Amino acid sequence: MLPTFANLNQRKIPVDPTCPICKCKRQTILHGLWSCSHLKLVRSEWYQKLAGNHKGKVYFIDFILDCFSRLKKEDLELFCVCLWKVWSLRNDVVHNSINEREIDVVGWASCFIVELHNANSGQNRILVVVTI
């Protein structure tokens, strides 16, 4: 469970449950990772594969299970890294007072996955030869 402001507020922690980014809706997990108006760019990248997927969904678990059933393995991997980056950027805004910046989340996530796969396959290993 992510510590969104709505979840913290529900657990009697005195915080405003309103999304600190759009300042319009309650910051639920679904709102913070997908449906916030400031994530329009991210949603547009996934429109063809997940068109209307969040419509009518109240809980993040319903949304993510639907994504698991619709996306191919490679797309699901990219989608999960995108969600991770979105949460990281939101934390930068909220906790580190870093101004919200528009970045290509999908492009960043694609590069991250390539680097991860390269690191795991040994393509980036450095051979150090020591002579005595």
pLDDT at residue 78 in the model: 92
Q: What average pLDDT does the segment 93-102 reach?
A: 73
CA 37 to chain CA centroid, nearest Å: 14
Report in angstroms the alpha-carbon separations of 46 from 71, 74, 97, 129: 10, 13, 28, 46
pTM here? 0.74
Token pair, residue 12, equals 């009697």
Token pair recorded at residue 111: 């590069």
Chain segment 20-54, per-residue pLDDT in tens = 888 888 788 888 888 888 888 888 887 667 766 56
φ/ψ region of 92 (left if φ > 0, alpha if ψ in -120 to 50, else beta) reads alpha
First to last CA, the chain: 53
